[in-house]
Amino acid sequence: MKKIIFPKSLKKGDKIAVISPAGAVEASQLEKGLEMIKNKGFEPVLGEHLYSKFSNGYNYAGTEQERIKDINWALNDNQISAIWASRGGYGCQHLVEHLNLKNFTKNPKWYIGYSDNTVIQSYLLKKGFASIHGQTIKTSSFGVTDESYNLTFDILKGKAPKYSLKPHQFDKKGNIEGELIGGNLALIYALLGTKYSFDFKDKILFIEDIGENFYALDRMIMSLELAGVFNKISGLIIGGMTNMGDEKENKSYEESFDEFAYQLISDRVLKYKFPVAFGFPNGHIKDNRPLIIGGNVKMKIGDKVKVEF
């Protein structure tokens, strides 16, 4: 079994690259996040194409070549100690075949992001490196808590997170320990059958998503089932399922843990023996608390739910 490499902890004054590997972003959307990095004692270094825009059926943060250039700079520049994605959206799949880890392997650094960044995190884990599935720099429409950012900085400084959650009616009790994988369900689904897909064997899988119709959610879960994922994993954690169902319903972002989405998932995994925890505070939600992809996690699900790295 490959030993997962954790990047070294950051110290005051270290540089954090901020890049846009997927969707376009406005400078005003990053002001608070960049100021926060400075206030924590670190130096944000902006990617050359952080605010670039390229429209090709979607508003990307620059052309594929521009985004590839920025991410490879951030991965390999020895003056950079961590990489923080400005946002997700769509576009990371364009980059994955062109990633260069020549210097990164000698000087691993934390990559922070979620949503579409799941693609980059799957790639890094395949190469043996942990990353942080946590809030991006962009100020989201559903807001961001200071606590979620503080917990991410804790990880950057070498402190592993521990979470205690309320039990959920769909939980499946049990205790399990193993390597955490996963992220955004749509991207886990999109990578199935490719060489960039997660290795699911004996892993604890985390999933979250936003804005999917219920039939699309069921289709993705069915694809995981047909691919044998649920026969391989040892545990499952479900985070935010935000603004799910018919978009015409105009659901509020406050409905972050959609009960019908949870019911659909619960129905599909009920026959499997692994423990399941619903309602983890990570995803396209306000209280987006970080997880370590590639980290060893202990999960206890009973009258109380504990998730500890």
Work out the average pLDDT over 32-60. 97
Work out the average pLDDT over 197-217. 97
Work out the average pLDDT over 73-101. 98
Residue 254 has pLDDT above 90, yes or no: no
**Using CA atoms, how far apart are residues 301 and 124, in angstroms rounded to an integer?**
29
**What is the number of other CB atoms lying within 10 angstroms of the CB of residue 6?**
17
What's the predicted TM-score (pTM) here?
0.96
Mean pLDDT of the chain: 95
Please name each of the domains of the chain with its CATH number. 15-156 (3.40.50.10740), 162-308 (3.50.30.60)
Catalytic entry in 122, 168, 179, 208: 208
- For residue 144, the model assigns a pLDDT of 85
Work out the average pLDDT over 104-108. 97
Work out the percent of the chain whose per-residue pLDDT is above 90: 93
Paired tokens of 242: 């935000």
81 is catalytic: no
- For residue 256, the model assigns a pLDDT of 86
**What is the number of other CB atoms lying within 10 angstroms of the CB of residue 294?**
22
Q: Of 155, 15, 153, 9, nearest to 73 (Cα)?
A: 15
Confidence of residue 247 (pLDDT cuts 50, 70, 90): low
Residue 253 has pLDDT above 90, yes or no: no
**Using CA atoms, how far apart are residues 165 and 301, in angstroms rounded to an integer?**
9
Paired tokens of 99: 């990633």
Catalytic entry in 115, 122, 131, 256: 115
- For residue 143, the model assigns a pLDDT of 73
Confidence of residue 2 (pLDDT cuts 50, 70, 90): confident
State the DSSP code for 138. S
User: Tokens 């917990």 correspond to what residue?
Assistant: 151
Q: Which residues contact 248 (CB under 8 A, 6 or more apart)?
A: none
**Using CA atoms, how far apart are residues 171 and 207, in angstroms rounded to an integer?**
14
Per-position DSSP letters for 23-37, written without gaps between them: B---GGGTHHHHHHH
208 is catalytic: yes
Q: Of 77, 125, 94, 121, nearest to 21 (Cα)?
A: 94
Residue 139 has pLDDT above 80, yes or no: no
Residue 261 has pLDDT above 70, yes or no: yes
Angle between helices 259-269 and 214-226 (to 10 degrees): 20
